Amino acid sequence: MLTAKIIADADFVVAPLDRRIFGTFVEHMGRCVYGGIYEPGHPTATPEGFRQDVLDLTKELGVTIVRYPGGNFLSGYNWEDGVGPKEDRPVRLDLAWHSTETNQFGTNEFITWCRKAQLEPMFAVNVGTRGADEARHFLEYCNHPGGTYYSDLRRSHGYKQPHGVKFWCIGNEMDGPWQICAKTSAEYGRIAQEIGKVMKWVDPTIELTACGSSQRAMPTYGKWEYEVLDQCFDQVDYISLHHYCRNDADDIHEFLATIDDLDHFIREVASIADAVAAKRRSKKRIMLSLDEWNVWYKASGPDDLKKPGWPEAPPLIEEVYNHEDALVVGGCLIVMMNNADRVKAGCLAQLVNVIGPIMTETGGPAWRQTIFHPFADCARHGRGEVLRLKVETGTFPTKAHGEVPNLLATIVRDPDTGAATLFALNRSVTDDMALSVDLRGLADGLVIAGSTQLYDPDLKKTNTKAAPDAVSPAANPTARLEAGRLTATLKPQSWNVISLARG
């Protein structure tokens, strides 16, 4: 049996955990909107046409914020097409996903859905085919109380009160040649500066995110972040990161090690942002928004990305997740929490059907994919401050990443109640792990409130419509709390959650 030790002290804190890291992403792509969150005529449909079963699962998932409407779709989108009477809305060709967009779901429908789902909207403005004019008008439509053209237009559409959208993204993946009207870093940085300026003139209370690199492997990575922030540093609050973990070689050890790439990515981008601040001798710190991240590698061929004939809402990149994918998602969440001092928002891409934790059948049921469970665990229990841990663990060898720690872990503590939760991933695929946690100043008056594990000997097992709970959490009866020390046995290739609360 492997052994691992953690030392946790109440006085050593990384940062308060921003609940916005438990966000997701809804794009007009495939069946994420149509057949996903919106399906008039479905047996569970609300009067607005929203799937109630998906709404219920979204609440269970614990989503706090959702980015909309894209994604690559954004760079060719006219927000005006998706407001007003539905019978007057134009049907457009979507060049991003080679689909036909009916615009029957748009800004106001999304806001109404967010309110029903009890979460915050995150909007993005088109920096592909449009620019500052569109951005200021869209913001005025959403947030200005009334008495102007666009705010009164919103009121005429039945929404007298402002939407009050506070989190905005300036474009999407503008460094990518696949993007409609992609930009160089100099072009994008200058545009982001001007868009940020006019948007904060319209509403100085908003927060803005500039586009970072589409992925760490981009040839312009690093240079892009520096040059963009060097121009729009004063206007923006965040820079974005996009990160997808892959298992192309079908090697579980290499796959589990890709989690560490995200940690390197976060630390590198934070350093670049701080270099821009240092050049200005500025105390301002640009925070990070990981507004696209997930596991994605199986449904990634040409047919998964585009269907012939400009169809409406065709099935696209409908990744079927297995147990090993869930482990990697859990590990990425641990990395995000351990970087709580800089990562202040995150969006699992996407919410439904399109590489989503929720899968649906059009006209039929909805079910939880395997990756649903670690996300729901973290959203449910990740409240308070992230502690700075000392972790002692063995390693395993990998070709691409060298020696990799067997144990990934974080502890989040609520300073008001003293309640704390340990999230732990045993990356060994062969051995149980005897874990010992020294809780210094943490355990007084606490008892174990819950102990669960996501474990299956079959790494390839999936959840399906016929077997929706094939991979799901079960109790871990080995957890003990005695004399300020928490102990437990962690199964190999397992995701673990142990919660402590007042007795």
* pLDDT tops 90 at residue 245: yes
- Using 50, 70 and 90 to split pLDDT, how confident is the model at 206? very high
- Burial class for 469, CB neighbours closer than 10 Å (0-12, 13-18, 19+): exposed
Q: Taking 90 as the threshold, does the pLDDT of residue 443 lie above it?
A: no
pLDDT tens digits along 386-406? 999 999 999 999 999 999 999
Output the CA angle 42-102-195, nearest 5 degrees. 120
Q: Which residue has the tokens 């005429």?
A: 156
Q: How many CA atoms lie within 13 A of 211 on its CB side?
A: 35
pLDDT tens digit sequence for 465-480: 999 999 999 999 999 9
Q: Which fold is adopted by the domain 2-10+386-502?
A: Immunoglobulin-like (2.60.40)
pLDDT at position 189 is 98
> What pLDDT was estimated at residue 76?
98
Higher confidence at residue 278 or residue 441? 278
- Is the pLDDT reported for residue 503 higher than 90? no
Q: Which of 120, 173, 318, 385 is catalytic?
A: 173
Encoding tokens for residue 10? Answer: 């109440």
Mean local confidence (pLDDT), 87-101: 98
Tell me if 436 sits within 8 A of 392, measured CB to CB: no
Query: Quick one: average pLDDT of 121-130?
Result: 98
Would you list the domain boundaries of the chain?
Answer: 2-10+386-502, 18-381
**Residue 362: what pLDDT?**
95
Q: Which of 109, 134, 292, 385 is catalytic?
A: 292
pLDDT band at 134; cut points 50, 70, 90: very high
Burial environment of residue 223 by CB neighbours within 10 A (0 to 12, 13 to 18, 19 or more): middle
Rounded Cα gap, residues 268 and 203, in angstroms:
31
Q: Do domains 2-10+386-502 and 18-381 have the same CATH topology?
A: no
DSSP one-letter string for 358-382: EEE-TTS-EEE-TTHHHHHHHHHH-
- 292 annotated active-site: yes
Decide: 256 and 281 in contact? Cβ < 8 Å.
Answer: no
pTM: 0.97
Q: Which residue carries 């409406």 as its tokens?
A: 312
Contact 209, 232 (CB under 8 A): no
Residue 315, classified by CB atoms within 10 Å of its CB into exposed (0-12), middle (13-18) or buried (19+), is: middle
18-381 is a CATH 3.20.20.80 domain: yes
Angle between helices 132-143 and 185-202 (to 10 degrees): 30
**Mean local confidence (pLDDT), 34-63:** 98
What is the pLDDT at residue 69? 98
* 3-state SS assignment for residue 59: helix
